Amino acid sequence: MNAIKPVAIVTGASTGIGKHISIKLSKNNYHVILISRNKQKLQLVEKYIKDIGNDCSIVCADVGEKSSIEKISSIPNIHNIDVLVNNAGIGVFNKIQNISVSEWDEQINTNLRGSFLMTKLVIDSMIKKQSGKIVFMNSVAGLNPYPFSSAYVASKYGLRGFSSSLREELRDHNIKVISIHPGAIDTPFWDNVKGDFPREDMLSVEDIATATVDAILAKNNVVHEEIVIRRTAGDIK
């Protein structure tokens, strides 16, 4: 690892938005630590980044589980993180009476608890050096309620509350807290979602990754606190 490079962690980095953010950060001279539950897909992203001459490392872990956080805490440079992108997320869309307790818990754990645990992992070192950027990949579901999405919406509303409070808590430490609220995006997120969703009409991962990395790279005295990204035609109904 090149010690002079800034270091970024991206969770949910094996596919979709996280993969594209990781590649873009690597092209902007970051050493990227990619985290995901899927080791095989992580290795493919790792190979791509290294094949284009950039730096990265991978950790196979579930950010919603404390045992995985302990594993992540042992990686080199964990106390010298410049950027944390809390991107890992899942969704189950169904009537409330058809959502199981385990499905509820999994969404809260991954979407909200995981972001809390990852933030706690890096925050002391960011405060010590009075510098850092923490990105939360939220959703328009963190701004507006949608039917058949109770657990997902709850997790995203909670994530917005957490990030908004954190932003004020860390403002005096020169730590930027950035929340991204995309509309529906064509990613593998939808592969196992029941329903007829017009994926060809969704936003692209490239759109979201570009906006996110632009916010990360903004000059030091500017922070894009909340970014809402929708299609010009509005949300998909």
Strands (E), the chain: 7-11, 31-36, 56-60, 83-86, 132-137, 175-182, 226-229
CATH, residue 143: 3.40.50.720
**pTM exceeding the 0.75 threshold for the entire prediction:** yes
Number of domains in the chain: 1
Q: Which domain holds residue 216?
A: 7-229
Tell me whether residue 222 is in a domain.
Answer: yes
Tell me whether residue 236 is in a domain.
Answer: no
pLDDT tens sequence across 61-84: 999 888 888 899 988 888 899 999
Residue 148 burial (10 A CB sphere; 0-12, 13-18, 19+): middle
Instruction: Choose among 213, 203, 206, 222: nearest CA to 27.
Output: 213
Tell me whether residue 1 is in a domain.
Answer: no
pLDDT > 70 in the chain, percent? 91
Tell me whether residue 2 is in a domain.
Answer: no
Tell me whether residue 146 is in a domain.
Answer: yes
pLDDT > 90 in the chain, percent? 72
pLDDT of residue 1: 45
Tell me whether residue 234 is in a domain.
Answer: no
pLDDT of residue 202: 81
Which of the residues are catalytic?
152
CB 59 within 8 A of CB 76: no
Tell me whether residue 237 is in a domain.
Answer: no
Tell me whether residue 142 is in a domain.
Answer: yes
Local structure of residue 135 (DSSP, 8 states): E
d(CA 180, CA 210): 11
pLDDT of residue 168: 97
